[in-house]
Structure formats: C-alpha cells, structure tokens
Amino acid sequence: MKFTKMEGAGNDYVYVDLFHETLPEPPETLAGKVADRHFGIGGDGLVLIAPSEIADARMRMFNPDGSESEMCGNAIRCVAKYVYDHGICRKIPLTIETGKGILTLRSEVSDGRVARVRVDMGEAILEPEKVPTLLRAVSGREKDAAVGVPFEIAGRAFSATCVSMGNPHVVFFVDKPTDELVLGLGPQIEVDSRFPRRTNVEFIRVINRAELEMRVWERGTGETLACGTGACAAAVAAVLNGKTDRAVTIHLLGGDLFIEWNASDGHVMMTGPAREVFGGTWLG
C-alpha cells in the first residue's frame, strides 16, 4: 500500500489515496499501526482520500485508537492539497465530503502546487444536545448554549464553553496552557461523563483581542501540535465570552491558523498551511 505523509501546522497524518490504492486491512486496526512513531510510519492518525458521489473527494479520518472522527481541520487542508497537486481534481474551489457534510476549500497555489488552504468550516454548533454535552447554561433550559459554565474536575474549578465543529470540543480560558492542564487534566476531561461521545479539550491563553495561544488534547489521540476544528471552536468560544473580535490568529505548538467567524452567516473560516513531507510503501 502506497502512502503519503502530510502535515498542517504540525498536525501530521498518514494519507492513503483510495482512488488508486486498496487498504490491506480495516482502517480501524490499520490506523494504530501506521501512526505508531516507533514501529510504524508515525503520525496523529490515518486519513483516507476516497471517491465521492456528492463531492470532488471524500475524507475519512481515524485516530490511533481506531475511532473515527467526524472532521479534522488540518487534515482536510492536506486532502485539498493532495487532490489538487496529484491531479485528482485541479479546480478551485474544491468540495470535500466529511462526517460533518460537504465543505468547500479554496487553495492558494504557487508554482503549480498548493501552499495554503482556506476552508469554509460551516456553522459552529452550540446546542448542548448536538455538541453533545450534558453541560447547560446557568438557566438550565434545554437549548441554552454551554457558554462560560462552571466546570469542576480533580478539585479544580474552571469556566467551560462547549462547541461542535462537527466534532465535540470544550474550551477553557486559562492564564497559561501548562503540561499540568493539557497532559494531566486533558485525558480526564476527554472521557468525562458530561461528554457522551468524549470530547476534544482546548486550553487557551488570551494574548489580545486578535491573538490566542492554544494547546489541545485531542479525543482518541492525545496532545497534538495543532487542531483545526479546535482552533475554530476556540475562536467561537472567545467571541461568545467577549474576549476577542471575530478574526483571530491562533498560535499553536505547530504553527499559526487564522480563524474568522462571520457575523453574516455564522460560518467559520479557517486558513492555514498544508505540506507534503514524504511518501513510501507500507509493507505491513
């Protein structure tokens, strides 16, 4: 099986082109093997680039633990780059089918290759039952968004905001996103019973009204250098809590993402890099 290693802001995955390749085993088991950084190729998971009947291509993403995620913002930029650069569909914009639905991506091309991609991530989902989360706003009404709600865990008190970008996120604004928070509390929060389908966890420091610093514990993976959907969720949460304007640069361990939350239609736009690192043959 031929593969391509790609990364977006340091969020790296093993990509397989199902237009031309066949998987040697189910993706749920293959993901952990190829993602292993000692005995495999190494990466944050496995991404399949497949034909679609309703879009230019389809993306499926599997975490190292075998679970399938609905969406990945950094991975979909890399899918757009692969689809364009490898001649599967050389048009701008592209449409990609995901677990969240069909997303539209506009690539920035230099010397015939994609360098950056702007993604229309669609609308942020705030209804608690759709995130999903058992957390509710103070009023407790069913449809009240969980924005700035009290959240206690391991003897620590926080203020939590829950957002779905097709996959669940909980955002915490902190003085500094430390190892104690990300590596210590992140895995506990991921599996907390208040999140029925587990959750991605973002710890955010507000720099100013146009910049955020972020670290993320990803559901099914652990800490990653970047999370595109998490950056989108963080930007939405920052606006909802009155901490930033609607256009922000988010500094992640692997690089920067630029996020805009449109007031007109509620869509979240994400712009960031996509890079092909190397390719090879998986021998199993």
Residue 132: predicted pLDDT: 97
- Which domains occur in the chain, in start order? 2-121+272-281 (3.10.310.10), 128-265 (3.10.310.10)
Tell me the C-alpha distance between 196 and 190, whole Å: 10
Q: Are 94 and 137 in contact (CB under 8 A)?
A: no
- Name the active-site residue from 72, 78, 162, 232: 72
78 catalytic? Reply is no
Here the tokens at position 242 are 């009155």
Sign of CA pseudo-dihedral 215, 219, 224, 226: negative
Task: State yes or no: is 89 an active-site residue.
Answer: no
pLDDT of amino acid 265: 95
| The two three-digit tokens of residue 281, written as one number | 């043959």
Say whether pLDDT at 219 is over 80: yes
Place of tokens 């990653």: 224
Contacts of 180 (CB under 8 A, 6+ apart): none
pLDDT at residue 246, as a whole number: 98
pLDDT at 143: 64
User: Which one from 78, 162, 227, 232 is the annotated catalytic residue?
Assistant: 227
Residue 140 above 60 pLDDT? Answer: no
The amino acid at 198? R
pLDDT at residue 139 above 70?
Answer: no
What are the pLDDT digits (tens) for 44-53?
A: 999 999 999 9
Tens of pLDDT, residue by residue over 234-270, are 999 999 999 999 999 999 999 999 999 999 999 999 9
Alpha carbons within 13 angstroms on the beta-carbon side of residue 109 total 17
The DSSP string of 162-182 is EEESSSEEEEEE-S---HIII
Per DSSP bridges, beta strands 211-218 and 222-224 are antiparallel
State the Cα–Cα distance between residues 107 and 116, nearest whole angstrom.
6
Residue 213 CA to residue 234 CA, distance in Å, equals 10
Q: What is the DSSP letter of 125?
A: B
| Per-residue tokens: 207 | 């720099």
Query: Residue 141 above 70 pLDDT?
Result: no
Which pLDDT score, from 0 to 100, does residue 144 have?
82
Is the pLDDT reported for residue 138 higher than 90? no
